[in-house]
A and B are shown apart, each in its own frame.
Chain A
């Protein structure tokens, strides 16, 4: 069932700009980038059981970094800004992950949740208070990302570019979580102490996944900064950190596609509600989220995906068995 859901989502995403008005394509691009961000959180929470309540720290740091490159160094080349933003995500997540996850004793979920939350909050305050980063107003008027002499501006081109990146990252994540490494992550999520007694270096495994998640968040943050044309303190703060948690809980954690669906539905419903119920839409959205989390704790994806398929199996493929045979 999972490949069917993935196929339907991909086809819908491919034809969307053909049927949408331009301003809605811009909105859809934003959602695609947020779905990429949601993937980063699903990897760390849904697969490794690390509750990162500060995922926006990596998203926003990368956003600020590429915004500064564009503003101060006039660097907008896609070949420089995207790798730079991705590396910033990697570096900040390695730094925070090293501190929170590689202590002498395994860290508790609460410790990591509060540690990441604090990191995100501190970054938000720093961004608000630092004049160089634009203070409360952030950094406006970021020039467009460029590919040679061509500017990638918002619209169908940016949409398909972001969708291409989302598809590639999704496939890489899928490869990772279906590999033997994914099996180790399943063990980590289900019973960390047990697999430590098998000889797994559980803290290292967690730090690696945390860094991979941070890297993806960094890539998403870079795309977001150029798409929106400005960065602001909320981008590193608690609000967006919480938002990405909701995407994944709503869609269904530990499935990858659930994170994408969660981001699409929450953003889509918010957009529609805010247009039609201007004053009470946040309450309506909150009620909807509560209902799903109360009655479908495994998220919307659990309507079509059973427990067995959600967890998956990791046995050798026929080809692997054939190649291993003497």
Chain B
């Protein structure tokens, strides 16, 4: 059974049909890229998977459980994590506290009130910051980071709770070439314990890190397969790659 299976997803906003029967299947430890021209429905599909939007029709299953109508909180508790398209770190808090906030999310109320897990989580916080090359700035306010570092911090926050599925919406948006390369390097190690769905415009980046791709066009799946299969797909080349 796949880790994530979204089938027949329809999402209508007023008179606009953003998704028209889209589907997405992700296996354990798979890096899956979601690509398509602007307005093809990538971000909407991501939101339907994450719970930020409820589909008009269709079904989303995660670890053999129907999560179509679950709230984002319940999905997070089931092992799903999201990095938003617009950076959503907490700018006035320190980097350390941003990570701690993500790590302690499932602690009990008693543990939170009496700060019972703060000491235990310290090493994990520092490990996450080190993994994303931010340890030396642990006690700076997150607002003081560069745009690229803020994106890394948010990925670190999304990964902190050790999710089984990480959803990344345009993680390299606004990054320099060097920062994109480093982001790819930072993401590789998580493959051992986590699957990834990534929406991204940078096709080189997607090609380098993803195992499989799904191509959306006008709210429908145009093609889905390995990177090589998608690259060889005539419809994709004609409809998507030419536009890109």
Chain A interface residues toward B at CB < 8 A: 176, 179-181, 183-184, 186-187, 190-191, 193-202, 208, 307-308, 311, 313-317, 319-324
Contact = CB atoms under 8 A, between A and B. Distances in A.
Contacts of A187: 90, 93, 101
Interface stretch (B10-18, B119-127, B195-203, B218-226): B119-127
A191 B90 contact: yes
A190 B90 contact: yes
B113 A176 contact: yes
Nearest to A184: B112
A208 B139 CA distance: 29
A320 to B, nearest CB: 3
B81 interface: yes
B40 interface: no
Interface string B89-123: 01111101100111011110101111111111111
Interface string B146-187: 000000000001000100000000000000000000000000
A199 B139 CA distance: 24
B49 interface: no
Contact of B100 (A183, A191, A323): A183
B94 A313 contact: yes
A200 B100 contact: no
Given A180-B107, A181-B109, A181-B113, A323 B119 contact: yes
B73 A202 contact: yes
Contact of B104 (A180, A320, A321): A180
A103 to B, nearest CB: 12
A197 B122 contact: no
A148 B33 CA distance: 74
B101 A183 contact: yes
Given A313-B97, A313-B139, A320 B92 contact: no
Interface of B: 50-52, 71-73, 76-77, 81-82, 84, 88, 90-94, 96-97, 100-102, 104-107, 109, 111-123, 125, 139, 141, 157, 161
Contacts of B115: 179-181, 320
Contacts of A199: 73, 76-77, 105-106, 161
Nearest to A185: B112
B104 to A, nearest CB: 5
A104 to B, nearest CB: 9
**Consensus secondary structure, chain A interface:** helix
A184 B104 contact: yes
A82 B51 CA distance: 45
A188 to B, nearest CB: 10
Nearest to B154: A194
A307 B81 CA distance: 30
A181 B118 contact: no
A98 B97 CA distance: 29
B112 A311 contact: no
A320 B122 contact: yes
Nearest to A181: B112
Contact of B119 (A191, A197, A316): A316
Contacts of A314: 93, 97, 100, 118
A186 B84 contact: no
Given A180-B116, A183-B97, A197-B72, 7 more contacts: A193-B72, A307-B92, A314-B97, A316-B122, A319-B119, A321-B119, A324-B123
B105 A194 contact: no
Given A307-B92, A308-B141, A196 B72 contact: yes
Contacts of B91: 190
Given A179-B112, A180-B104, A183-B101, A324 B119 contact: yes
A24 B226 CA distance: 81
B55 to A, nearest CB: 17
Nearest to B78: A199
Contacts of B81: 197-198
